[in-house]
Amino acid sequence: MQTPAPVDYARATSVADAIALLEKHGDEARPVAVGTSAALAAKRSF
């Protein structure tokens, strides 16, 4: 069984912060949007 590689997580608090984090981490940065799937699942349950 393969296990995922460890990751460093940074949470942006604004658009400017997100841009700064992307610039700081360069090609290694991977933006991840969360909450959308949870909102859709909640919407479907009603």
Q: pLDDT digit of tens for each residue in the chain (46 aa)?
A: 788 788 888 889 999 999 999 999 999 898 887 666 666 676 676 5
| Euclidean distance between CA atoms 12 and 22, whole angstroms | 10
Q: What is the pLDDT of residue 38?
A: 65
| Euclidean distance between CA atoms 16 and 11, whole angstroms | 12
Q: What is the pLDDT of residue 7?
A: 80
Q: What is the pLDDT of residue 36?
A: 64
Indicate the residue type of 28.
Answer: E
Q: What is the pLDDT of residue 16?
A: 96
Residues 6+ apart with CB under 8 A from 10: 21, 25
Distance of alpha carbon 13 from the chain centroid: 12
